[in-house]
Structure 1
C-alpha cells in the first residue's frame, strides 16, 4: 500500500517536473557558440564585401585615370596630325617646303612628351620627311598595317594601329596616322605620329599596384598596345579571348568583374573602359589576394579571438556539466539513501513486511478516508500457534525462518495494492484491508490459514504436527466517534476468541467479544 512520505526533492503539493538542467546547459552553450560564430561570419562577410566594394571604386577610378590619360595623349597627337595634314593639304609637301616641314615636325615632337617622332610617307610608302635630322632611307613602309589601311580606306580620320618597332631606331611605338589626299581626292601619302610605348609604361608605373595586378591599353578588337608589367612577347597579341573581353557585353563602355585568369589561375578584379573618341580600351586588374590582404589579417585576428572565447565557454561548460552530473549523482544517492531509510523505518527487517509505525500511519489515513466515504474497513490479526514451543524445539534461527515463511504467505495472499500486511510484534501479524467488509476479511483469513498449512512446516510440539495459525477478523464503517485503538482491540479480541476455540481457525468478533473488548479497554 503506498504511503505518502516526505521527499525534499519534490514540492509537498505533488510531484513537479524537474528541469532538464544538463540538456538546457548544453543547448545554451551550443547556442552561444553558434551565435558567436554566426556573428563572426556576418562581420567578416560584411567586411569582405566592403573591401571588395572599395576595391571596385579604386579600380574604377584607376581605369578612368588611364582612359583620361590615353584620351588626352592620343587627342594631342591627333591635333598635331590634323593641323599638319590641313597645312600640307593646302600647300603640299614639295622639295621647297620639306626643310620647313622637317623643322615643324621636330618642334612638334619636342612639345609633346609622348611623341617618338613624326613621319611623312608618299603614296608608295617611301620616306619623305621625319622629325629626325637625318632622313632614314630604307625600303619604306608599304608593308605596315597603317599604310595599307589608308591605301584602302578613304577616311581622313586618325587611325591607331597595332604597336610596332620604329625603323628609325627600333623603339616600340604606337602609330597614329592620317591619310593625305591631293586636290582631286586621290591618295597622296600618309602622315604618321609614333607615340612612345615607354610613355605609357612610365605612366602605368606611377600607380601603386600589386605584383599580381596588371594594366592594359588595347585596341577595341583586343590587340594589345601597352601593358604593365611590360612583356615584349605579348605586344600585338589579341586579348579577344581573355576573361574581361569575354565578360563584357556588346556596347558596354565601362564595367568590372571578378574573374579567374585562364593563364595563371589568379582571381582578379578586372575593370575596363572604352575611350569615347578613339577605338581603344583600357583595363586594370587587381588580384583578389591583394585586395583582401588586410581582410585576411582581420579575419585571422577576429577568428582567433572568437575561437579563444568559444574555447573558454566550452571549458566552462565542460566544468559546469561535470558539476551538474555530480550534483545529479549525489542527488540520486541521497534519494536512494532516503528510500532505504524510509524502508528501514517503516518495514520489518526480518520479514520485509510493514512494521507497526507504518501500520499506525496507514490506519490513521484509511480510518479518515473510510469515515469520509462511508466505506468499510477490515482488520485481520494473526498469531502463530504454539510459536514459543517451536522456538524451544528448533531454535531461534528456525523460528526466524518460520516467521519469514508466514510473511511470504501474507504477501502472496494480499493481491490488492491497498492491502497492507504487517508484522505487529513477535509472532503476531496483522492485515489491514480498506474497502473490505467482514465476509471479504473472513475469506482472505481462511485463505491465509490454508496457505500456511499447505507450507507443511513441521511443528512436533503442535497437536497437528504442522505449523498453524489462528486469525481474528473485525470489520466496520469508521465514524468520528470511533478510535483506532478500539478497532485494533476488537480485532485482537477476535484473535483471542480463535485461540480459545482450539486454534488453527478463523473467528470474527461476536457481540459478547465486543463487550469484553470494551470492558478491557475501559480498564
Structure 2
C-alpha cells in the first residue's frame, strides 16, 4: 500500500525543477523531429489529395464523354431500326419488297461507321434480308439471346444484348435489335443492327490513359461488352460482383471510387456513369500507381531531405546528451540509493512484506481516513502454528524458507492496492484492510489459511502434517479518538482465541454490549 510522506526538501514547483536536463533535451529534440515529420506528412498528404482530386475530375469528365459518345452511337442505330421496323410493319418483307429492303439496309449501314451490318430475321429466326449483297443461309438465329428476348417480350423498345461474334464474318459485334409485329401485334421477326466492337476499341484508344488504366462499356446487369485493354476471353464476363455494380450504382448513377478491379486486381480510380436512355454503364479508370507516380517521386525527395535534417538534429542532440548523461547517471544512482534505503527501512528483507515501521505509518493514515469517511477498518493477525517445532526439526534455513512461502500466500490474498501485508515479528504476520468490515476480513482470513495449507509444506510437528496458520480478525469504524495499541490488541486477542481453540482456524472478535463473542471457521 503506498504511503504518502512529505519530502522536507520539496518546494512549490519542485516537480519542474527536478525535471532532468537529459529528459528536457531528449524531449526538445524529439519535439523538433516530430514537428518536421508532422509538417512533411501534412504537406505530402495535401499534395496526395490534390493529385487524387485532379484525377477524379479527369475520370469524371472522361466517363461523361464516353457516356455521351455511347449514347449517340446507340441512338443512331436505334433511330435506323425504328424507321426500318415502321416500314416493314406496314409493307411487310415479301419477295417483292426484299430487293428494296436490301438496298435500304446497305445504304443505312454504309451511312453509319459504327454499324457492322443490318439484318432482318423472320419469326423462326431465319435470315430474310441483310445489308450484305450475299445472303447467308445458315442455321438461323433462334438460339441467340436477342431473338429469344423479343420472342418472349412484347416491348417495342430497342434491346441491347451481350456481345457476340457475327455469323456473317466472325467479327465481334454488340447487337441492337427491335421486335417486328404484324398488324395485330403478333411477333413476326427481329431487325438487328450490329455495332462493331472495333468501333469502341478505336474510340477508347483516342483517349490518353496510362498503361494500367482501363475503360469499359457494360450492360447494367454487369455483362461486359467492350473494354480497353481488349482481351477477347473477358468479353461477356460479369462485373456484377464488382464494387461499381454491387455498391455504387444502386446509390448513385455516376461517381468516382478507388477500388480493385474484379478482372485483373489492379487498384484504379474509376469514374463511372449510367446512361439515361439505355441500360448501359461506362467507366474510365487510371491506376493508382500512375496517378501518384509524380507524388511518389516528390515524397521520396522530401523524405530524404527531412531525414537528413532529422539526422543532423539527432547527432547534435546525441552529442549534447552525452555531455549531460554523466550528471544524470549520478543523480539516478543517488535516487536509487535513496529508494533502496527507504525500502530497507520499510520492508522486511526476508519476506518482502512491509515491516512494523511502515505498518505503524499506515495505521495512522487509515485511522484518520476511516474517521473522515466513517468506513470500517479491519485487521488480521496470524501466526504460524508450531513454528518453533518446525525450526527445531528442519533448521533455521528451512524456517526462513517457510516464512517466505507463508508471506507469499499472505500477499497473494491481498487483492487491492490499499491492502497492506506486514511481517509483524518472528512468525507473526498482520494484514491491514481499509474499508473492510468484519465479514470481509473473515473471508480474506480464510483465503489466507487455505492458501497456506494448499502449499503442502511438510511439518512433522503439526497434527495435520503440514504447515498451518491461525488467524484473528477485528474490525471497527474509527472515530478519531481511538487507540492503535487497543486495535492491535483486540486482533491479537482474536488470534489467541483461534490458537487456544485448536489452531488452523480463523477467529473473529466483536464487541457487542461489552461482551466478547468468538466465531470460528474450520476448513
TM-score of Structure 1 vs Structure 2, range by shorter chain: 0.5 to 0.7
| 1:38 Cα deviation from its structure 2 partner | 0.6
Cα separation, 2, equivalents of 1:123 and 1:264: 41
Superposition map of 1:111-126 within 5 A: 111-126=111-126
Q: Which residue of 2 aligns with 1:87?
A: 87
Q: Which residue of 2 aligns with 1:133?
A: 133
| 1:176 Cα deviation from its structure 2 partner | 0.3
| 1:195 Cα deviation from its structure 2 partner | 0.2
| 1:247 Cα deviation from its structure 2 partner | 2.2
SS at match of 2:299: helix
> Structure 2 vs 1, CA of residues 87 and 25 (structure 1 numbering), >3 Å: closer, same or farther?
same
Superposition map of 1:404-443 within 5 A: none
SS at match of 2:96: coil
Cα separation, 2, equivalents of 1:245 and 1:270: 12
Cα separation, 1, equivalents of 2:272 and 2:323: 64
Measured against aligned partners, the alpha-carbon deviations of 1:320-372 in whole angstroms (never above 9, x if no partner) come to: 4445669999xxxxxxxxxxxxxxxxxxxxxxxxxxxxxxxxxxxxxxxxxxx
> Structure 2 vs 1, CA of residues 217 and 21 (structure 1 numbering), >3 Å: closer, same or farther?
same
| TM-score, scaled to structure 1 | 0.57
Q: Which residue of 2 aligns with 1:73?
A: 73
Further displaced range: 299-308 or 264-273: 264-273
Count of residue pairs brought into register by the alignment: 315
Cα separation, 2, equivalents of 1:93 and 1:310: 85
Q: Which residue of 2 aligns with 1:167?
A: 167
Superposition map of 1:338-353 within 5 A: none
Measured against aligned partners, the alpha-carbon deviations of 1:214-255 in whole angstroms (never above 9, x if no partner) come to: 211111111111111111111112211223222225253112
| 1:160 Cα deviation from its structure 2 partner | 0.5
Q: Which residue of 1 aligns with 2:275?
A: 275
SS at match of 1:155: coil
Cα separation, 2, equivalents of 1:18 and 1:150: 90
Cα separation, 2, equivalents of 1:99 and 1:260: 53
Superposition map of 1:38-57 within 5 A: 38-57=38-57
Superposition map of 1:388-403 within 5 A: none
Cα separation, 2, equivalents of 1:131 and 1:90: 20
| 1:268 Cα deviation from its structure 2 partner | 2.1
> Structure 2 vs 1, CA of residues 243 and 250 (structure 1 numbering), >3 Å: closer, same or farther?
closer
Q: Which residue of 2 aligns with 1:178?
A: 178
Superposition map of 1:491-502 within 5 A: none
| 1:283 Cα deviation from its structure 2 partner | 2.1
> Structure 2 vs 1, CA of residues 59 and 135 (structure 1 numbering), >3 Å: closer, same or farther?
same
RMSD: 2.4
> Structure 2 vs 1, CA of residues 212 and 306 (structure 1 numbering), >3 Å: closer, same or farther?
same
Cα separation, 2, equivalents of 1:122 and 1:210: 46
Measured against aligned partners, the alpha-carbon deviations of 1:148-178 in whole angstroms (never above 9, x if no partner) come to: 1111111111011111110110000001011
SS at match of 2:270: strand
| 1:21 Cα deviation from its structure 2 partner | 4.8
Q: Which residue of 2 aligns with 1:288?
A: 288
> Structure 2 vs 1, CA of residues 82 and 249 (structure 1 numbering), >3 Å: closer, same or farther?
closer
| 1:318 Cα deviation from its structure 2 partner | 2.8
SS at match of 1:258: strand
Cα separation, 2, equivalents of 1:119 and 1:37: 68
Superposition map of 1:103-502 within 5 A: 103-250=103-250, 252-261=252-261, 264-322=264-322
> Structure 2 vs 1, CA of residues 118 and 23 (structure 1 numbering), >3 Å: closer, same or farther?
same
Cα separation, 1, equivalents of 2:126 and 2:262: 43
Cα separation, 2, equivalents of 1:186 and 1:284: 42
> Structure 2 vs 1, CA of residues 33 and 21 (structure 1 numbering), >3 Å: closer, same or farther?
same
> Structure 2 vs 1, CA of residues 298 and 117 (structure 1 numbering), >3 Å: closer, same or farther?
same
SS at match of 1:154: coil
| 1:25 Cα deviation from its structure 2 partner | 3.2
Cα separation, 2, equivalents of 1:180 and 1:322: 94
Q: Which residue of 1 aligns with 2:64?
A: 64
Cα separation, 2, equivalents of 1:265 and 1:233: 16
Measured against aligned partners, the alpha-carbon deviations of 1:60-101 in whole angstroms (never above 9, x if no partner) come to: 111111111110100011011111112222222222222222
Measured against aligned partners, the alpha-carbon deviations of 1:244-298 in whole angstroms (never above 9, x if no partner) come to: 2222252531122222345544322223211100011112232211111111111
Cα separation, 2, equivalents of 1:249 and 1:166: 31
Measured against aligned partners, the alpha-carbon deviations of 1:80-132 in whole angstroms (never above 9, x if no partner) come to: 11111122222222222222221111111111110000111111111111111
> Structure 2 vs 1, CA of residues 18 and 235 (structure 1 numbering), >3 Å: closer, same or farther?
closer
Cα separation, 2, equivalents of 1:300 and 1:318: 26
| TM-score, scaled to structure 2 | 0.57
Cα separation, 1, equivalents of 2:158 and 2:264: 36
| 1:19 Cα deviation from its structure 2 partner | 9.1
Q: Which runs of 4+ in 1 moved over 6 A?
A: 325-329
| 1:32 Cα deviation from its structure 2 partner | 0.8
Cα separation, 2, equivalents of 1:246 and 1:328: 63
Measured against aligned partners, the alpha-carbon deviations of 1:382-419 in whole angstroms (never above 9, x if no partner) come to: xxxxxxxxxxxxxxxxxxxxxxxxxxxxxxxxxxxxxx
